[in-house]
Amino acid sequence: MAAISFKSVIKRYGTGKQALQVIHGVDAEIGDGEFVVIVGPSGCGKSTLLRMVAGLEEISGGTIAIGPRVVNDLEPAERDIAMVFQNYALYPHMSVFDNMAYGLKIRKMPPAEIKARVDKAAGILELGHLLERKPRQLSGGQRQRVAMGRAIVRQPQVFLFDEPLSNLDAKLRAQTRLEIQKLHRELGITSLFVTHDQVEAMTLAQRMIVMNGGRMEQFGTPEEVYHRPASTFVASFIGSPPMNLLKDLPGVAAGQVLGVRPEHLDVVPAGGWALQVETVELLGAERLVYGRLGEQQVIVRIDGAAPAPATGETVHVQPRAGSLHLFDAASGQRLPS
């Protein structure tokens, strides 16, 4: 196992005036054995950052270290990493056992050691009864577990996951998240996991890097990122539904944005903010009330068993004490509170 260090990491495509910079000076220290998720919207640079760790993209500036070694100029095979992709990339003519063992055979490892490693990984991932099957005989979730098993048998210093659950349906995604958590608890290998899905990020991460436009907006635990977002971007990206971000309210200074989570607004008999209801969504145990406060939309999360307000009705909502966030309107950065 090994720590990962990013120091002023930059990525450019092209040279001179035509150069396009896509990663802008990322600095982060990932601890030995830590599970870190890199999350952000499409095009934010999260996969590019991961591919630079893997050696699949050149580093234009700064340094990346795995353990004590700066790996900028090392080939992927020299970095002692294993990668799991969105595409399972299994050999269709090989059995599960042979797919998992292939990389070890290429390294001319003794057959007994190969079998021991594959059997151990298969046990962890509950694949023991599938070792003789071909990939076409497996479900999507089983294929992804085989891809993870192929990475496990390498016994690398670092696991890199690039959107590995994107091809799975919702139920399999939830199940595979649990398997990945179990895998990390058992192996304790330093892991970087890239996703655009905030649910995956919040449930898997010990800490998470939130990327936006090639920049690291925030690096912290899921609790820190959710409860103290560093910017309006983080506040609007993390959380479903997103944080309400409001301007031009009594008590909010010019140039400031007020943030409040939908679950931190309570319906009250009178006072507070008068909200004109536009629509209500029932989501089982909860309802989402969408309304207008002047020209601004506000979302309120209420108990699913509570009476639903009617469309067009005016309801009064009150932010809970200590639940408000203030941001600078120009920079989007969090203000002291």
pLDDT tens for the chain, residues 1 to 337: 789 999 999 999 988 888 899 999 999 999 999 999 999 999 999 999 999 999 999 999 999 999 999 999 999 989 999 998 877 788 999 999 999 999 899 989 999 999 999 999 898 888 899 999 999 999 888 888 898 888 889 889 999 999 988 878 888 888 888 888 988 998 899 999 999 999 999 999 999 999 999 999 999 999 999 999 999 999 999 998 999 999 988 878 889 999 999 999 999 999 899 999 999 999 989 999 999 998 999 999 999 988 889 999 999 999 998 899 999 999 999 998 7
Do 235 and 327 contact (CB within 8 A), yes or no? yes
Strands (E) in 146-243, as ranges, are: 158-162, 190-195, 207-212, 215-220
Coil/strand/helix, residue 323: coil
Rounded distance between C-alpha atoms, residue 12 and residue 18, angstroms: 10
Output the pTM of the full model. 0.90
SS3 content of the chain, % helix, strand, coil (to 5): 30, 35, 35
45's tokens = 């640079």
Would you call 1 helix, strand, or coil by DSSP? Answer: coil
- What backbone phi and psi angles, to 5 degrees, belong to 157? -80, -30
Q: How many whole angstroms separate alpha carbon 253 and alpha carbon 273? A: 17
- Give the pLDDT of residue 41: 94
Distances (CA, A) of 269 to 182, 274, 315, 317: 47, 10, 8, 8
Dist CA 81 CA 161 (whole Å): 11
* Region for 304 from its dihedrals, namely left if φ exceeds 0, alpha if ψ lies in -120 to 50, beta otherwise: alpha
What are the residue boundaries of the structural domains of the chain, listed by start?
Answer: 4-234, 261-328
Return the residue matching tokens 């000076």: 25
SS3 77: helix
- Cα(88)–Cα(99) distance, rounded to whole angstroms? 11
For residue 93 the two structure tokens come to: 């003519």
Locate 56 and state its tokens.
């699949």
| Structure-token match 């070694």, residue found | 69
pLDDT of residue 169: 83
Please tell me the CATH code under which domain 4-234 is placed.
Answer: 3.40.50.300
Residue 290: strand pairing partners: 279, 299
Nearest to 250 by CA among 241, 258, 242: 258
Task: Quote the CA–CA distance of 123 and 128 in Å, as a whole number.
Answer: 6
**Tokens in use for 303?**
């108990």
Structure confidence at residue 110 (pLDDT): 94
Q: Judge whether 32 and 96 are in contact, CB under 8 Å.
A: no
What is the structure's pLDDT at 15?
Answer: 85
Q: What is the DSSP letter of 53?
A: H
- Residue 197's Cβ-side half-sphere holds a number of Cα atoms within 13 Å equal to 16
Other Cβ atoms less than 10 A from the Cβ of 261: the count is 22
Q: Which of 285, 318, 279 is nearest to 303 (CA)?
A: 285
Q: Does domain 261-328 have CATH number 2.40.50.140?
A: yes
* Residues linked to residue 61 through DSSP beta bridges, in sequence order: 10
Amino acid at 322: G
